[in-house]
Structure 1
Amino acid sequence: MAFHPIAADDDDASGVGVARKYAWIVFALTFGLLISDYMSRQVLNAVFPMLKGEWALSDGQLGLLSGIVALMVGLLTFPLSLMADRFGRVKSLALMALLWSLATLGCALAQDYQQMFIARFMVGVGEAAYGSVGIAVVISVFPKHLRATLASAFMAGGMFGSVLGMALGGAIAAKLGWRWSFAGMALFGLVLAVLYPIIVKEARIAPQRANQAANKVAAAVKRPLRTLCSSPSVIAAYIGSGLQLFVGGTVIVWMPSYLNRYYDMATDKAGGVAAIIVLCSGAGMILCGMLSDRLCRQSAQRKVSLAIAYCLGSCLLLSAAFALPPGPAQLLLICLGMLIAAGTTGPAGAMVANLTHYSVHGTAFATLTLANNLLGLAPGPFITGKVSDVIGLQAAFQLVPLVSIAAAAVFFYAKCHYHKDIARLQGEQVDDSVGHAVVEVKV
C-alpha cells in the first residue's frame, strides 16, 4: 500500500504517513460536504419565483434571504476557523455540516418569511468556516507538492455545488414543490455529516498534532499564529488572490444579465449558458492547479510565476472577448478566459499553506477566504453594477479584466520575497521543534 509522507516543513506533521487510499477517502468525504455546503446555499435561487408568488415577497426580501448567508460566512469565517484549529478540525467540520443541514431542513419547514430568514441565518452560521477548515484537513493528508492541485480542486467544488444546487433544486421543485428542494439538500448533507466523523479520524490525519494538543504545549501557540501575516509573501498571496477573484466573480454574477441584454436570451437559456461558463471556471481551477503542481514540483517559486501568467492571460482573453461584438467568437473567448481566470486559487492556496504554520492552516485559509470576499467576490459585482449604470454593462465588462493586471503586480511582489520568507519560516519551525523537545524533557 502506498503512503503519502507529509511535508517535513509542516512542523508537527512531519514524519507522519497516511495511506493513499485513506487520503483519497478523506478528500472525497470533505469534497462531498463542500458540494453539500453550496447546494444548500444556492438552492434558494432556484425557487425564488415560487417563494415570491406564495408569500408575496419583494425582490429586496428575496435578496436578503440570499445575502444573509454570505454575510454570516464573511463575519464568522475567521473566529470559527481559529476555534477549529484549537479544538479539532474533524469534529468541527462534522458539527458545521450537521448545523447547516438541519438549518436547510428548517427552510423546508418554514411557514413564513421570518422563519425562513432565521433558517437561512443558521445556514450561514453553519457554513461560515467549512471551506477554510476543510481545505486544511485535505492538505494535511497529501504531499506538499500536490497542494496547488488540491486547493484548486477543493475550491472548484463550490462552483460545482452551486450549479448542482440550482439545477437539482429547480427540477425537484417543479415535480414535488419548493419544500422538497430544501429537504433533498438537507438529507444529502445529514448523511455525509454522520459518516464524516465515523470514517475521518483526527488521530489518523495528524497524530502528532493531536498528541501536542493533549500535552498542552502552550509555547506552540503564539508564534504559529503570527505566521498568518508575518511575511510580505503571504500578505501578497491574500491580496493577489482577492483581486483576481474580483474578475472571475464579477463575470459569473453578471453573465446572465449580459446574455439577456446583448444576446436577447430568455432567462432560462441565459442561466443555462451562464452555468456552462461557471463550469469552465471550475474546471479551470482544477486544471490550472494540476499544471502548477506538475511544472513546479522542483521549484515552489514557479507557482508564483504561473499565478502571474494566469492573471495576465485571463486579462488578455477577456479583454479581447468584450471588445468583440456578441456572437460565438465572443462566447468562446469568454469561456477560455474564465478557464484560467480562477487558476490563481491553486497557487495562492499553496503559497498560504507553505508560508504559514501547519497548526494554524485552518485559520490561514480563513484569512484567504476573507481576502477573497472583501477584495473580490463582494465588491466586484457591486462596483461593476454601479459602473454599468453610468456607461452600460458592455463597457463595464471591458474595464473589469484590467483588475487582473493589479493582481499580477501583487503576485510579482510576492515572488520577489517568496524564497526568503520560506527560508525564514523553516528556520522558525526548527526553533519550535527544539523548544518542544525541551518542554517535553522538562515534563
Structure 2
Amino acid sequence: MNPTRLLILFLSINIINYVDRQILSGVFPLLKEHFLLSDAALGLLGSAFMITYSLTSIPFGKWADRWLPHKVAAIGVAVWSVATVSSALAWSFASLFVFRALVGIGEAAYVSTAGTILSNAYPERKRSAVLGLFNLGMPIGGALGVVLGGWLGVNFGWQWAFFIVGVPGLILAYLAWKLPLRKQVTTENRATFGWDELIRLFTKNRPFLYTALGYAGISFAFGAIVLFVPTFFERSFGYSLEKATLLAGGLQVGAGLLGAPLGGWIADLWLKRTGRGRAYTLVVSMALSAIFLWAGLFLQSFLAFFLSAFFMLWHVGVATALVFDVTDKAIWNTAAAAAMFVMHFLGDIPSPYLVGLISDHTSLLFAFSLLPIPMLLASFFFWKAGTYLPKRASSS
C-alpha cells in the first residue's frame, strides 16, 4: 500500500483515538456534579483507562509480532469505539469506570502496533518525522475531544458526548481491517520469544530502560495536565466550562501542530550530526517545558503555558523512534508495548489520582506546581539513554 495513504489512514484513526480518550476531560465538571465526585475520583476515571491500557499492551504487542499487526490494530479500534459509545449508558461511577477501562483495552491493541507498521513503511532517516506526523493525532484529537466534550456536554448532556464521538471509530476499524498488508517482519526465528526475553529487555538493555523511564516522566506530567487543565482554567481563571475547554483545546492543538513536527524534524537533523541526536532533543525539550510550566503557573501567563506545551510535544514521535533505535527490529511491537507499560504504570496511571488527591487537600494550582519535577527527571533519563548511543552519526 502507498505509504502516504497508510499514514493518512493511521493519522485519522489516531485523531479519533485521542478524541475518545480526552472526551472525559471535557466533561469532568459535569461528571463531578452528576455523580457527586471528588477530584481524586475524577482522576481515577483517567486511571481506569490507563490501567487496562498498560496491562494489555504487552500481550497485544506480542500477538502483533506473530500475526498481522493491522488486523490487531483494527480489532482494537472496534473495541474502544464500542466501549466509548457504551460510556453514554453509565448509570454510576462504577459502571463508567468499567467502560473507560474497556476503552483502554482497545487502544492498547492499536497503539502497540500502529507505530511499527508506519516505521516499516518508511526509511529509517524519516522515522522521527513520520511518527511525529502520525502522533499529531495526540494534539488534534486531544483538543477536539476536550472541546467537543465541553460543548456537547453543556448543550446536550455528557451522555451524548460519549455517544457521538464513539461512532466514527467503527468505520475506521473496518478500513484498517481491509488493508492489503502482509506480515512485515520475518519472525520464524523469533517464535520462541517469551517472558524471559522480555525480562532481559529491561535488565540487559540499559538505554531501553532509561528511555522507558524518561517516557514515564513525560506521561506522569502530561497525563494529569491534559485531564485537569480545563478544570484548572475554570477554577483559577474563572472561565465558563465551554470557554475553558475551548482554551485548553486551542492550547493543545496549537502547541501540538507546531511542536510535534518541529521536534521530529530537529531530532532527525540532530541525528545526522550525532547518534545521540534524538535523545538530546528530548533532554532539551523536557527541561524547557518544565521551566515554562512553572512560569505559567506562578505568573498566570498563557504564553508560558503555551510554550510549556510546545516543548512538551516535541517528544511526540521522537521518544517512540528512540525506543526503536535501541531495540532489535524483530521485537519492535513487543518493545514498544513494554515501553508503553512502563510509561503508563509509572506515569499516567497514578498521576491523575495523585494530582486529584493533592488538589482535594490543597489546591489544583499546588498540585500542578509539582508536575515539573517528573518532567526534569525525564530529561535526566533521556540524557542517560543518550550516553549509551554512538557519538557519531550512522553512515547508513
| TM > 0.5 | yes
1:133 corresponds, among 113, 117, 121, to 113
Describe the superposition over 1:312-340 as per-residue Cα deviations: whole angstroms up to 9, x where unpaired. Answer: 2223322333342x3xxx11011112100
The more displaced of 246-255 and 222-231 is: 222-231
5+ long unaligned stretches in structure 2: none
Shift of the 65–413 alpha-carbon distance from structure 1 to 2, 3 Å rule, reads: closer
The more displaced of 273-282 and 389-398 is: 389-398
Note the 1:97-112 alignment, pairs <5 A: 97-107=77-87, 110=89, 112=91
Question: How far does residue 382 in structure 1 lie from its aligned partner after superposition?
Answer: 3.9
Q: Does the 8 A contact of 1:227 with 1:355 survive in 2?
A: no
Aligned to 1:354: 325
2:214 corresponds, among 235, 240, 257, to 240
Q: Does the 8 A contact of 2:280 with 2:386 survive in 1?
A: yes
| 2:173 paired with 1:193 | yes
Question: How far does residue 273 in structure 1 lie from its aligned partner after superposition?
Answer: 1.7
Question: How far does residue 219 in structure 1 lie from its aligned partner after superposition?
Answer: 6.4
AA aligned opposite 1:272: L
Q: Does the 8 A contact of 1:248 with 1:342 survive in 2?
A: no
Shift of the 167–315 alpha-carbon distance from structure 1 to 2, 3 Å rule, reads: closer
Question: How far does residue 137 in structure 1 lie from its aligned partner after superposition?
Answer: 1.2
Inter-partner Cα distance in structure 2 for 1:302 and 1:112: 50
Question: How far does residue 231 in structure 1 lie from its aligned partner after superposition?
Answer: 1.7
Q: Does the 8 A contact of 1:152 with 1:285 survive in 2?
A: yes
Aligned to 2:288: 313
AA aligned opposite 1:404: M
1:296 corresponds, among 234, 257, 271, to 271
Inter-partner Cα distance in structure 2 for 1:187 and 1:386: 33
Inter-partner Cα distance in structure 2 for 1:300 and 1:170: 44
Aligned to 1:286: 261
Inter-partner Cα distance in structure 1 for 2:371 and 2:388: 28
Inter-partner Cα distance in structure 1 for 2:233 and 2:173: 38
Aligned to 1:432: none
Inter-partner Cα distance in structure 1 for 2:384 and 2:120: 28
Aligned to 2:5: 25
1:37 corresponds, among 7, 11, 17, to 17
Q: Does the 8 A contact of 2:128 with 2:268 survive in 1?
A: yes
Describe the superposition over 1:407-426 as per-residue Cα deviations: whole angstroms up to 9, x where unpaired. Answer: 22222221221239x99xx9
5+ long unaligned stretches in structure 1: 1-18, 427-443
Other structure's SS at 2:6 match: helix
Higher relative contact order (CA 8 A, sep 6+): 2
Question: How far does residue 107 in structure 1 lie from its aligned partner after superposition?
Answer: 4.2
1:228 corresponds, among 193, 198, 201, to 201
In the superposition, the TM-score normalised over structure 1's length comes to: 0.75
Describe the superposition over 1:199-224 as per-residue Cα deviations: whole angstroms up to 9, x where unpaired. Answer: 34125xx2xx2xx45xx435673697
AA aligned opposite 1:282: G
Identity %: 26
Note the 1:77-116 alignment, pairs <5 A: 77-107=57-87, 110=89, 112-113=91-92
Inter-partner Cα distance in structure 2 for 1:178 and 1:221: 45
Other structure's SS at 1:418 match: coil
Inter-partner Cα distance in structure 2 for 1:147 and 1:288: 12
| 2:183 paired with 1:217 | no
AA aligned opposite 1:85: D
Question: How far does residue 46 in structure 1 lie from its aligned partner after superposition?
Answer: 4.8
Question: How far does residue 189 in structure 1 lie from its aligned partner after superposition?
Answer: 1.0
Inter-partner Cα distance in structure 2 for 1:249 and 1:155: 15
Q: Does the 8 A contact of 1:68 with 1:120 survive in 2?
A: yes
Aligned to 1:262: 236
